[in-house]
């Protein structure tokens, strides 16, 4: 068995297909072939990855394990968009959650990253009213129990252009539920969250970390809806770590000094335009540069946290 307890920082760094432009958001640019993405992940030195969009990787647990294993990779978890704010979608959303949980757990993963969306084809529509917020929070509590029955940990993921986008909306999740959350360093920053204050006040509820930096100059026209999220990403919204405005060093320092050996996903949302072949090379370059940045934090964070996350992964 592999445990996250007392492991070096770089041994707790995973990646995700979105770093190679494979995204759960509908209509998200050019999607690279599976074999190329997995081969590049492995060549970069990763041994764990998230699942990516449903259907990008095999949707049968045994086949998924084998496909990842062919490239020396293991599954860490999956990002799961669900409609959770209305009763008419509850049955379908529960079925979707079961489907994702069965695959993630069956393939040896641990994390079920829930993202509430207005509709699976349109992630953010009108803001929720109080009744819808109450229903959403109740739904997350139910999903928490559901994924726990599969041996998974639910972590809530606030995401730009989703139902929970702004800091005010994220606070409603914090106050209305007890679920753990994904500390996505760029999406939370886009929503106006003070990341260091969040760690100080709710660090105990961080279940998983998505590390990405943010070009603050591009963030402003995005918030003003002068650019779409995909347009901003294609222009470099999420640069390699250390090259944007997110205090990555301070964030990692506080998390590591907490004594918890958290898992980090080096997740730099990329969007590849059909005609932009140079973007294919850039996604690998960004991964390499970000890993080099994290290596620069060593040996200060060589491991030895004192509080276990109890995250264990079957071999193979």
> Which residues constitute the domain of residue 157?
2-305
Compute how many other C-beta atoms are within 10 angstroms of the C-beta atom of residue 166.
17
pTM for this predicted structure: 0.89
Which contiguous run of DSSP H or E holds residue 15?
strand 13-15
Q: Is 261 inside any structural domain? A: yes
Distance CA 124, CA 28 (A): 15
Q: pLDDT tens digits for 113-124? A: 999 998 777 767
Give the CATH number, domain containing residue 22.
3.20.20.150
Q: Is 311 inside any structural domain? A: no
Q: Is 111 inside any structural domain? A: yes
- Weakest mean pLDDT among 10-19, 66-75, 298-307: 298-307
Q: Is 312 inside any structural domain? A: no
Domain total of the chain? 1
Q: pLDDT tens digits for 187-197? A: 999 999 999 99
Q: pLDDT tens digits for 212-254? A: 999 999 999 999 999 998 899 889 999 999 999 999 999 999 9
Q: Is 103 inside any structural domain? A: yes
Q: Is 134 inside any structural domain? A: yes
Mean pLDDT, all residues of the chain: 87
β-bridge partners, 156 = 114, 181
Q: Give pLDDT, residue 10.
A: 85
């Amino acid at each position: 068995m592999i445990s996250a307890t007392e492991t070096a920082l770089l041994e707790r760094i995973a990646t995700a297909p979105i770093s190679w432009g494979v995204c759960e958001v509908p209509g998200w640019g050019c999607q690279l072939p599976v074999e190329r993405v997995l081969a590049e992940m492995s060549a970069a030195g990763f041994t764990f990855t998230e699942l990516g969009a449903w259907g990008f990787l095999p949707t049968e647990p045994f086949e998924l394990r084998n496909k990842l294993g062919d490239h020396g990779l293991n599954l860490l978890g999956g990002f799961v968009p669900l409609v959770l704010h209305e009763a008419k979608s509850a049955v379908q959303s529960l079925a979707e959650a079961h489907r994702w949980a069965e695959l993630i757990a069956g393939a040896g993963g641990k994390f079920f990253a829930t993202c509430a969306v207005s509709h699976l084809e349109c992630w953010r529509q009108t803001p929720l009213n109080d009744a819808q917020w109450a229903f959403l929070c109740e739904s997350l509590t139910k999903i928490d129990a559901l994924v726990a029955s599969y041996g998974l940990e639910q972590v809530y993921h606030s995401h730009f252009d989703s139902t929970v986008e702004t800091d005010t909306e994220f606070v409603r999740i914090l106050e209305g539920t007890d679920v753990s959350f994904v500390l996505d360093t760029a999406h939370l920053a886009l929503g106006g969250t003070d990341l260091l204050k969040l760690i100080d006040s709710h660090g105990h509820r961080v279940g998983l970390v998505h590390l990405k930096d943010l070009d603050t100059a591009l963030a402003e026209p995005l918030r003003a809806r002068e650019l779409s999220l995909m347009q901003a990403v294609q222009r470099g919204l999420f640069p390699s770590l250390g090259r944007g405005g997110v205090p990555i060093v301070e964030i990692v320092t506080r998390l590591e000094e907490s004594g918890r050996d958290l898992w980090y996903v080096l997740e730099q949302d990329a969007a590849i335009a059909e005609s932009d072949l140079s973007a294919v090379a850039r996604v690998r370059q960004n991964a390499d540069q970000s890993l080099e940045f994290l290596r620069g934090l060593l040996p200060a964070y060589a491991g030895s946290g004192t509080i276990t996350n109890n995250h264990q992964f079957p071999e193979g």
